[in-house]
Amino acid sequence: MNFSGADQVQTPFTPIDGKIVLARRDRFLGAIGARPLVMGILNVTPDSFSDGGRFNGLDAALAQARRMAREGADLIDVGAESTRPGHSPVAEQDELARLEPLLAPLAVAVDLPFSVDTYKANVARRAIAWGASVVNDVWGFQRDPDMARVVAETGAAAVVMHNRDDKDERLDIRADMRRFFERTLKLADAAGVPRARLVLDPGVGFGKTKEQNLAALADVGDLGRDFGLPVLVGVSRKSIFGLLLGAEVDARLIGTLAANVACAARGAQVFRVHDVAEHVAAFKVFDAIARA
Distance (Å, rounded) from C-alpha 74 to C-alpha 108? Answer: 16
Per residue in 162-184, pLDDT (tens digit) is 999 999 999 999 999 999 999 99
> Catalytic: 284?
no
Bridge partners of 206, per DSSP, are none
Q: Looking at residue 49, what is its pLDDT?
A: 45
Strands of the sheet containing 270-273, edge to edge, are 198-201, 157-161, 134-137, 114-117, 75-79, 37-43, 270-273, 232-233
Our CA angle for 134, 229, 277, nearest 5°, is 55
CA distances from 250 to 117, 242, 266, 271 (A): 22, 10, 26, 18
CATH topology of domain 6-291: TIM Barrel (3.20.20)
Around Cβ 8, how many Cβ atoms within 10 Å?
Answer: 8
Burial-class residue 169 by CB neighbours within 10 Å (0-12, 13-18, 19+).
exposed
Strand-strand pairing, 157-161 and 198-201 = parallel
Distance (Å, rounded) from C-alpha 83 to C-alpha 159? Answer: 15
Distance (Å, rounded) from C-alpha 111 to C-alpha 8? Answer: 25
Query: Which one of 238, 266, 284, 291 is the catalytic residue?
Result: 238
Burial-class residue 70 by CB neighbours within 10 Å (0-12, 13-18, 19+).
exposed
Q: Which residue, 224, 127, 68, is CA-closest to 135?
A: 127
> Catalytic: 164?
no
DSSP state of 32: B
Weakly modelled stretches of the chain, pLDDT under 70: 1-14, 47-55, 84-87
Residue type, 153: E
Taking the chain, what is the end-to-end CA distance rounded to the nearest angstrom? 39
Query: Which one of 25, 197, 237, 272 is the catalytic residue?
Result: 272
Per residue in 44-87, pLDDT (tens digit) is 987 544 554 566 789 999 999 999 999 999 999 999 997 766 66
Q: Looking at residue 3, what is its pLDDT?
A: 43
What residue spans define the domains of the chain?
Answer: 6-291
Q: Looking at residue 7, what is its pLDDT?
A: 36
Our CA angle for 233, 239, 245, nearest 5°, is 105
DSSP state of 7: G
Helix (H) or strand (E) segment spanning residue 160: strand 157-161
Q: Which residues contact 127 (CB under 8 A, 6 or more apart)?
A: 78, 99, 103, 116, 118, 135
Q: Looking at residue 113, what is its pLDDT?
A: 98
